[in-house]
Chains A and B, each alone.
Chain A
Amino acid sequence: MPEVSRKAAIALAASASIALFATACTGQSNSGANDDASKETAINFWHAWSAPNEVAAVKSLIAGFEHAHPNIHVNVVGNMTDDKINQALRTGGDKAPDVISSFTTNNVGKFCSSGALIDLNPFFKKAGIDAQATFPKAMNEYTQFDGDRCTVPLLGDAYGLYYNKTAFAKAGIKNPPKTWSEFEADAKKLTIPQGDGYRQLGFMPDYHGWETTTEHYFAQFSPTYFGPGGKSDVARDPAFEKGFTLQKKLVDELGGFQKLERYRATLGDEWGPKHPFHTGQVAMQLDGEWRLGMAVDAKPKFDIGVAPLPVPDDQADQYGKGYITGTVAGIAATSHKQNAAWEFVKYITTDTDAVVGFANDIHNVPSTLAALKSPKLKYDPRFKTFLDIAANPNSTTSPASINGGQYLVTIQQFGYDYESGKEKDLKAGLARTARQIDTDIAQAK
């Protein structure tokens, strides 16, 4: 090949690679809360909701705010993932968000530690709002990191157990299980094999079974993710060992990993009408409060039951607790309208009527203690289970970390290896997982 062509080809290879992968310079936080919120102004609000009913709910929430604050106009951008929000928060500019809301509670630590969202403690203090007395305990915890309250809860999600009442009756089970021992027995009783698969599976325990992730299971064991000094407690707190052992036992007893995965591949997706709980292919489902509306809309041929998730046998007195997470809202550090943005955040997250109205429209759990008790709250009687889980002081969440939910990804990765039998030594695996979490956190600092 002629020399020129060779160089050209090498240059082509190099530039193609670099042009794709090179990082770009990004903006810096350069603003403060110096704006006058009483003057005519407009703010940008980015959120992640996308379904038509959700978009309408956001519109209604904003109409309420603009009615209360006629001088502040809100430009709304919906269907925004955290990746896009994070990139915009770093870029800044007139079109960047002043206020964001994110579904990914696990990213709070990253939002706070990076300085992408401002600390709202001074605003709360100035407004005379006591966050601890305003929000449920778990929600109050997951919206701050290391004392920095860079987010506020904006509706919440509570996880419980959905069960097929008709299948329960057919199997002679009278009540939903309250402990994991009862749950194991019920799951086996509800499982009806058919050929290489199942006519009905009692419960899909695999970590890929939509919401059956490690953190959702383990919340029932009230684990401590980080010990003193911020080191991972995964290998020290016995809650994790118990959680992994329980899930593995369920996998083995319900047919084994390979068989369950084969069956899982035949099931409908999480967000469609053919979700296996709707179709009766799975008799029990660990899921969030939103499943109730989706399941009812799918018009299943059975009665839907809702209950809190079971607890370990030695924690029977804590039955009623669950995993809590939720949407969070915050103010961009790059915003030049932070006072106006605060008025908006304060309204959508602490105004009881606004929170109740939004919860009614979105079918999520309200995120203030006052809203949880509001008589204006409209819900299916079964939804009350989730309101109670949210208000339960024993309910837990996964704590904010400097690198977001990376530690949860690491735990879940180990979970995949353990459930499939690739990793057999639980203790050694947990120790390795803890080391990895610590290494990742050190890298992020």
Chain B
Amino acid sequence: MSTLTTSTPAAAARPAGLAAKRRRSALKTLAFMSPGLIGFAVFFAYPLASTVYFSFMHYDGFKPPTWSGTKNWTYVFENYPLFWPALRNTLWLVVVMVTLRVLFGLGVGMLITKIKTGTGVFRTLFYLPYLAPPVAATMAFAFLLNPGTGPVNSLLEKTGIPAPGWFNDPTWSKPALTLLALWGVGDLMVIFMAALLDVPTEQYEAAELDGASPWQRFRYVTLPNISPIVMFAVVTGVIQTMQYYTQPLIAGKVASGVIQGAGTQFEPGYPDKSTLTLPQLVYNLGFQRFDYGSACVVALVLFALSMVFTAFLMRRRGGLIQAGD
């Protein structure tokens, strides 16, 4: 009985103490997490909620927003003639440009890790273009690839190769942008070089002893080791390409000969909308036409696409690691 009488208050005190301890621990955890949580709420949750909210509103930045239902969504998907060309262009760039940039960055990285002399010079040469400001680099490319006066076409004509219209030809404008992106591949080259140099040499030695061919060494030793970096390059590449704005805009403006400034109209994606990307639509709708609702719809499409691509890549990478293992 005495045990009972003495143990009852203790048993009651223990859960109370435990609960307080848990509360304190939870508060402590929350306090430690708060910078991240606040950042998430301010920079992600609130803008996302706002974007969804404004996509259903008519809002020009002056008059109070008014409910417009699905009008903005219908307008963008059915009545806005620039949406589908911009979406097609963005997807083209995501698929082609990102793939080529990763392959080229990896290839250059591998070459530079292999060469014995002049490594520093080559590293510098390949990295320098990445440091060029995008506007200046794009203008320089537009000059180099000018179909009439550019040195590239002069050279092609001298060698008898048909000279494309590059930024002045809707068929060649996106490949020309891809060339520009490949020229500035220095960032990926450095990342891949670091990853390649980190692959344990004993794994290569073991593979060689087993008689693995260079391709097999790459497939079964290099690739599994650097796959997190490949994934990083692809995911960030997809995100960057979804936000691709400056280069296509400048290339289109320079090639069209009509520099947009005070007093000129927005011209979407010269030539023939071929350099038009979704971020350009967000700017045009949101900050030139002040149709915030429609701009939000396009922003949400970009968000959804980013999510779909990222989720797809994550799944694919799971398969890659398994195959590599």
Binding site for B on A (CB under 8 A): 1, 6, 9-23, 25-26, 28-29, 48, 80-83, 86-87, 90, 102-106, 110, 114-116, 197, 208, 210, 261-267, 269-271, 333, 403-406, 408-409, 412-413, 416-417, 420, 422, 436, 439-440, 443-444
Q: Looking across the interface, which residue of chain A has its beta carbon closest to that of B256?
A: A208
* Residues 274-303 of B at the A interface (beta carbon under 8 Å): 279, 282, 286-292, 294-296, 298-299, 302-303
Q: Are B265 and A409 in contact (CB under 8 A)?
A: yes
Q: Which of B47, B63, B149, B321 contacts A266 (CB 8 A)?
A: B149
* Residues 229-277 of B at the A interface (beta carbon under 8 Å): 231, 235, 238-239, 242-243, 255-259, 261-268, 270, 272
Cα A82 to Cα B270 with chains together (Å): 21
Q: Which of A83, A87, A102, A261 contacts B168 (CB 8 A)?
A: A261
Q: Are A270 and B148 in contact (CB under 8 A)?
A: no
Question: Can you list 17 A-B contacts (CB < 8 A)?
Answer: A1-B228, A13-B306, A18-B44, A19-B44, A23-B50, A23-B295, A29-B62, A48-B262, A103-B262, A104-B262, A110-B289, A114-B60, A114-B61, A265-B147, A265-B257, A439-B79, A443-B294
User: Could you say which of B266, B286, B289 has the most chain A C-beta atoms within 10 Å of its C-beta?
Assistant: B289
- Residues of chain A within 8 A (CB-CB) of B152 are none
Q: Looking across the interface, which residue of chain B has its beta carbon closest to that of A6?
A: B314
- Residues of chain A within 8 A (CB-CB) of B99 are none
- Residues of chain B within 8 A (CB-CB) of A406 are 289
Q: Are B62 and A22 in contact (CB under 8 A)?
A: no
Task: Name B's interface SS.
Answer: helix
Q: Are B44 and A11 in contact (CB under 8 A)?
A: yes
- Residues of chain B within 8 A (CB-CB) of A263 are 148
- Residues of chain A within 8 A (CB-CB) of B48 are 14, 18, 22
Cα A103 to Cα B48 with chains together (Å): 35
B192 close to A (CB within 8 Å): no
Binding site for A on B (CB under 8 A): 40, 43-44, 47-48, 50-51, 54, 60-64, 71-72, 75, 79, 81, 146-149, 165, 168, 228, 231, 235, 238-239, 242-243, 255-259, 261-268, 270, 272, 279, 282, 286-292, 294-296, 298-299, 302-303, 306-307, 309-311, 314, 317-318, 321
Q: Looking across the interface, which residue of chain B has its beta carbon closest to that of A439?
A: B79
Q: A22-B47, A102-B262, A444-B289 known; A264 and B306 CB under 8 Å?
A: no
Q: A18-B44, A270-B259 known; A13 and B289 CB under 8 Å?
A: no
Cα A9 to Cα B75 with chains together (Å): 32
Cα A262 to Cα B157 with chains together (Å): 14
Q: Are A115 and B63 in contact (CB under 8 A)?
A: yes
Q: Are A1 and B317 in contact (CB under 8 A)?
A: yes
Cα A264 to Cα B256 with chains together (Å): 9
Q: Are B307 and A103 in contact (CB under 8 A)?
A: no
Q: How far is the CB of B83 from chain A (nearest CB, A)?
A: 12
Q: Are B310 and A9 in contact (CB under 8 A)?
A: yes
Q: Are A1 and B314 in contact (CB under 8 A)?
A: yes
- Residues of chain A within 8 A (CB-CB) of B40 are 11, 15
Cα A340 to Cα B303 with chains together (Å): 46
- Residues of chain B within 8 A (CB-CB) of A261 are 168
Q: A14-B306, A21-B302, A48-B263 known; A86 and B287 CB under 8 Å?
A: yes
Q: A21-B282, A266-B149 known; A1 and B318 CB under 8 Å?
A: yes
Q: Which of A23, A116, A262, A269 contacts B62 (CB 8 A)?
A: A116
Q: Are B257 and A15 in contact (CB under 8 A)?
A: no
Cα A269 to Cα B142 with chains together (Å): 13
Q: A29-B62, A83-B288, A262-B148 known; A22 and B50 CB under 8 Å?
A: yes
Q: A14-B44, A114-B62 known; A21 and B279 CB under 8 Å?
A: yes
Question: A25-B50, A265-B147 known; 8 other A-B pairs, CB under 8 Å?
Answer: A10-B310, A18-B43, A28-B64, A90-B61, A115-B62, A403-B291, A404-B289, A420-B272
Q: A23-B295, A114-B63, A405-B265 known; A265 and B148 CB under 8 Å?
A: yes
Q: Are B231 and A1 in contact (CB under 8 A)?
A: yes
Cα A242 to Cα B267 with chains together (Å): 24
Q: Which of A13, A18, A23 contacts B54 (CB 8 A)?
A: A23
Q: Are B289 and A9 in contact (CB under 8 A)?
A: no
Q: Are B287 and A412 in contact (CB under 8 A)?
A: no
Q: Are B265 and A412 in contact (CB under 8 A)?
A: yes
Cα A270 to Cα B286 with chains together (Å): 29
User: Could you say which of A48, A409, A443 has the most chain B C-beta atoms within 10 Å of its C-beta?
Assistant: A443
- Residues of chain B within 8 A (CB-CB) of A208 are 256-258, 270
Q: Are B47 and A19 in contact (CB under 8 A)?
A: yes
Q: Are A269 and B259 in contact (CB under 8 A)?
A: yes
Q: Are A103 and B51 in contact (CB under 8 A)?
A: no
- Residues of chain B within 8 A (CB-CB) of A105 are 263
Cα A199 to Cα B252 with chains together (Å): 27
Q: Looking across the interface, which residue of chain B has its beta carbon closest to that of A110?
A: B290
Q: Are B267 and A409 in contact (CB under 8 A)?
A: yes
Q: A266-B148, A436-B81 known; A15 and B44 CB under 8 Å?
A: yes
Q: Looking across the interface, which residue of chain A has its beta carbon closest to that of B44?
A: A15
Q: Are B303 and A26 in contact (CB under 8 A)?
A: no
Q: Which of B62, B282, B309 contacts A28 (CB 8 A)?
A: B62
Q: Which of A15, A264, A403 contacts B43 (CB 8 A)?
A: A15
Q: A16-B239, A22-B299 known; A265 and B314 CB under 8 Å?
A: no
Q: Are B257 and A22 in contact (CB under 8 A)?
A: no
